[in-house]
Chain A
Amino acid sequence: MTWAILMPFILMFAGLLYMGFARKIHARIQKRYGPPFYQNIYDVIKLFSKREAAFHGGMFHFGPVLSLTGIIMALMFLPVGGKPLFSFQGDLFVLLYLAVIAPWGMALGAGNAENPLASVGIARALTLMLGYEIPFFIGIIPIVVRTHTTQIVEIIQLQQINGWNVILFPISALASIIALHAMLGNKPFDQPIAPHEIASGPLVEYGGKYLGILQLYQAGAILLSTGIYVDLFFGGASNVWMFFLKTFLIYFVLLLIGEVLPRFRIGDALKFFWKWPLGIALLGLLVAVLGGVR
């Protein structure tokens, strides 16, 4: 029970470190030094130490609050490194839908910012969600249908016996990892928070403590997305350090892919998702169904 309460905060702290590592790697690829890997912790503390924060209305304040609530709840239901937390009380679908509360909170808050740039950012974020959620989900279906359970803990245990799902369902894993790339919001899929086009989109009016809360949400969301992927495809982890290692490796690989690609246009991103990852995911589903499900 204590782990269920502490784990979201440990994961958010780890997410801040991941974001710092991402900046370091980004800098080294560009042949410069880059900030220290704990830089994002300083950023969050600095944001919380601001004296003021712009305030547009009640929902503007409760947007980040709802975001933080959502990410804490979702992280409590994710089995992490041998500790199932609340995962027996809510299965895979509960987790997938709990993971939606946090972006929804940010969307509601950004809507009240009375700025069209925020609205455009949210429209792009939702369009991108329409793009990537479907291939991600179709990639997960073969696992659920084949193992005939929706409890993530049981899927992890079955992977210890049968081998990792990335080897059993390679095509679905490929489709899901492309969708995961967009879930993390890395280039080339960072249209919602595009700093140069729409002045960071939904975050345009947020400063001070609200931005700090949203940074914590982003950090937690990295761990949540990669955590779901690792639990479903890479056999979970037996302890917390292996969990961090596996999620960091996946994050690292996706970061390197994102380094060489510029941002897509949002219409092109949606067409891409409904062409290639969806096709690969449907192919994976077909293969899994024909491989004997009933």
Chain B
Amino acid sequence: MLTIALYFAGSIITYFTKKASAIIAFIFAVLANIAFVFTKPLNFHLANFNLNFSLTPLSYIFGIIILTLASFVMFCYPNTKERQYYPLFLLSLTGISIILLSNNFLSFFFGWELMSVSSFFLIYNNKDRKAGLLYLVASAVGAYGILMGISVVYAKTGSILFTSFSQNLNLFSRREIVYLIFLFGAGFGVKAALMPLHIWAPDGYREARDPFTAFFSGGLSKLGIYGFLLLLFVFIGTDRFATFHITKWTLAWLGGLTAFLGGFYAIFQTDIKRLLAFSSISQMGYAITALSLSTSLGVTASLYTVLSHALFKGILFITAASVILRTGKHSFDELGGLVKNMPLTFIVSVFAVIGLNGVPPMGGFPAKWLVYEGLIKAHYPGLIALMFAASTTAFLYSYRFIHGVFFGKRMPSLKNIKEAPFVNILSSTILMLALLFIGMFPGWVVDFFSPAIKFLGFKVMVHTFGTLSTPLGNFNGFLVGIVFIIAGLFATIVSLFFSRKMRVSSIDTYSSGEALTEETPYHYSSNFYLFIQRDFSGFLRLSARKFYFSIARFIENSAQGLRRIYTGNGQVYIWYVIIVWIGLIIGFLYKGGFK
């Protein structure tokens, strides 16, 4: 409870301070983070409801991941000078800690709404209202789904505690449980940006205030996964949920489609943050597919994806924030060649992107490995193909990101860009080292997750400090890391001998003998994947967002059609009254009149 109080107090205090608000916010965040670990259970009564707060192993894991990432992002340099940035950030953290610590539906919903509304204010700006409003509407729809689910549960069981729901589960028929999954799932799916509920995410992430987006994507979207884990394994129960074959299958395929289509759309984006937004949607698809398998490997894979995604997406969004802060541009058409100006940011981004691709030895690989092993063991061969396709699209869009920002020929307008702020680089480096650690020591991470896995009702997989073993195959992360370091040293030494370097400037490159100048636009970055875009232009015209907006237009048009009757003209209404009155008289006389 100290956590919630600290966040809330920090939120109010930073509204009133001006210059020191960054440091105060960071101190409050770190203190609350530490206080989270030591939370004790708390019970209190409020208007005939019994509210229970406690720290379960699952919320412990999620709290450490999300709140520590929040502290790192809080440490970064803010891109805006608005007064409300830190207060709203801390307020959303208050909401999150309420969600994680609550053991009853009422405060869970309160925290959910608090988090949604405070992050809405961090997206909304006067120049592009549509993105913020779409987020608000989507969140509201999801929240109503959750509220309806809560009402059904309260009506049936008469109590708002989580434990009473899971104990009284036999009061619900199977069909009602599926409806509950659908209702709650709508709310959690909106937060985790599961397709087809993802339409707020691309523009929402783009318009959010800059370093906050790192937390938004790395932390807030994980609450959807937390909700799913709570719903499917804690409330319904692991053994019970394993019998819901159709629901599992639907959720798995929805996650797979999200993973592939998110990656596919990310290939063609021209805006930095929109590309990273689609990438986030894609990675959350992995997590949802993994947890819908309802096996031990699946849940471990889901938690691992949550952890590694928080790390590398945090680094990438912090990089995007640094680039936008220094250059003021956020489209690939205007950037390029920044590797000379921002070398440290570049190095950190390359490691984050290697983690995004899921290449060993960085931390993204054990997550993907566990997903594949889980899918094979659970007999989903079609889905594993879709997951691998999604992973291949990750290679494409991540290279687009690195190339569009850092590589190529630098434009003359970008000549004097400074390196990113030191705090950004420090945060990113610590996150990158953490990513390397979880890649080389996957067994330690599974150890860290084992209380949560046992809490959800699964057996923990076989692991040692640096290796993971399944009945299908092994992965020795430590050996891969050591081999990488040794082979890298060998290759570096080989490359240092032999010829000396002929340093050439950026205008001394192959151009069939022509001489280039600094202003020559000798840079290929716009329409990077035009050949794919041309061939799939028909498919790319379909879009879930257009579908939803067409439904909205249809309803609006049919309401327009209703205007023929409800014309808004008083005389027409009087005519209606007269006609109905005459009809009633006729009916009255027909039935026999006054008898």
Contact = CB atoms under 8 A, between A and B. Distances in A.
A114 interface: yes
B358 interface: yes
A120 interface: yes
Name the interface size band of chain A: 35 or more
Interface in A170-229: 199, 204-205, 208-210, 212-213
Contacts of A88: 474
B385 interface: yes
B476 to A, nearest CB: 4
Given A57-B339, A89-B467, A126 B396 contact: yes
Interface string A123-155: 110110110011001100110110011110000
B525 A114 contact: no
Interface of A is mostly: helix
Contact of B369 (A93, A134, A210): A93
Nearest to B467: A89
Contact of A117 (B337, B510, B531): B510
Interface stretch (A26-34, A62-70, A252-260): A62-70
A64 B384 CA distance: 32
Contacts of A111: 399, 402-403, 406-408
A181 B190 CA distance: 42
A112 B399 CA distance: 12
Contacts of B365: 94, 97
Contacts of B27: none
Contact of A97 (B359, B488, B528): B359
B473 A149 contact: yes
Contacts of A3: none
Interface stretch (B310-318, B500-508, B564-572): B500-508
Interface in B336-358: 337, 339-340, 343, 346, 350, 354, 357-358
B529 A129 contact: no
Interface in A2-31: none
Interface in A71-92: 72-73, 76, 86, 88-92
B479 A65 contact: no
A64 B408 CA distance: 17
A263 interface: no
Contacts of A65: 488, 491-492, 495
A84 B494 CA distance: 27
A134 B337 contact: no
B484 interface: yes
B499 A115 contact: no
A89 B381 contact: no
B329 interface: no
B495 A94 contact: no
B325 interface: no
B473 A52 contact: no
A281 B497 CA distance: 46
Given A68-B491, A97-B368, A119-B407, A209 B373 contact: no
B516 to A, nearest CB: 10
Contact of B359 (A89, A104, A116, A204): A104
Given A116-B408, A130-B392, A58 B358 contact: no
Nearest to B531: A267
A104 B396 contact: no
A247 B401 CA distance: 37
Given A59-B339, A111-B402, A50 B475 contact: no
Given A91-B473, A93-B372, A104-B357, A130 B510 contact: no
B299 to A, nearest CB: 19
A130 B399 CA distance: 13
A116 B524 contact: yes
A38 interface: no
A204 B510 contact: yes
B473 A151 contact: yes
Contacts of B504: 54-56
Nearest to B380: A145
B47 interface: no
Contacts of A55: 501-504
A69 B484 contact: yes
B399 A137 contact: no
B534 interface: yes
Nearest to B379: A294
A285 B522 contact: no
Contacts of A108: 350, 402
Given A55-B504, A104-B359, A116-B524, A209 B381 contact: no
B522 A127 contact: no
Contacts of A59: 339, 346, 350, 407
Contacts of B222: none
B513 to A, nearest CB: 12
B221 to A, nearest CB: 25
B594 interface: no
Contacts of B472: 91, 144, 148-151
A292 to B, nearest CB: 12
Interface in B366-413: 368-369, 372-373, 376, 379, 381-382, 384-385, 388-389, 392-393, 395-396, 399, 402-403, 406-409
A55 B502 CA distance: 6
Contacts of A56: 504, 506, 509
Listed residue (B343, B357, B491, B524) with the most chain A CB atoms within 10 angstroms of its CB: B491
B480 interface: yes
Contacts of B476: 89-90
B503 to A, nearest CB: 5
Contacts of B337: 114
Nearest to B491: A68
B494 A213 contact: yes
Contact of B379 (A97, A199, A205, A293): A293
A98 interface: yes
A66 B522 CA distance: 26
B360 interface: yes
B487 interface: yes
Given A107-B399, A119-B407, A94 B483 contact: no
Given A53-B501, A73-B484, A141-B385, A130 B408 contact: no
A249 interface: no
B532 interface: yes
A113 B359 contact: no
A289 interface: yes
Given A54-B504, A267-B534, A130 B396 contact: yes
B82 interface: no
B575 interface: no
Nearest to A89: B476
Contacts of B531: 123-124, 127, 265-267, 270
A48 interface: yes
Given A134-B392, A151-B474, A270-B535, A285 B382 contact: yes
7 contacts: A50-B498, A56-B506, A89-B474, A89-B475, A90-B476, A126-B529, A267-B534
Interface of A: 48-59, 61-62, 64-66, 68-69, 72-73, 76, 86, 88-94, 97-98, 100-101, 104, 107-108, 111-117, 119-120, 122-124, 126-127, 129-130, 133-134, 137-138, 141-142, 144-145, 148-151, 199, 204-205, 208-210, 212-213, 265-267, 270-271, 282, 285, 288-289, 293-294
**Which 9 residue pairs across A and B have the least CB separation, nearest first?**
A91-B473, A111-B407, A116-B524, A150-B473, A89-B476, A55-B501, A68-B491, A209-B498, A119-B524
Given A59-B350, A93-B473, 6 more contacts: A66-B488, A97-B365, A114-B522, A115-B511, A127-B529, A285-B385
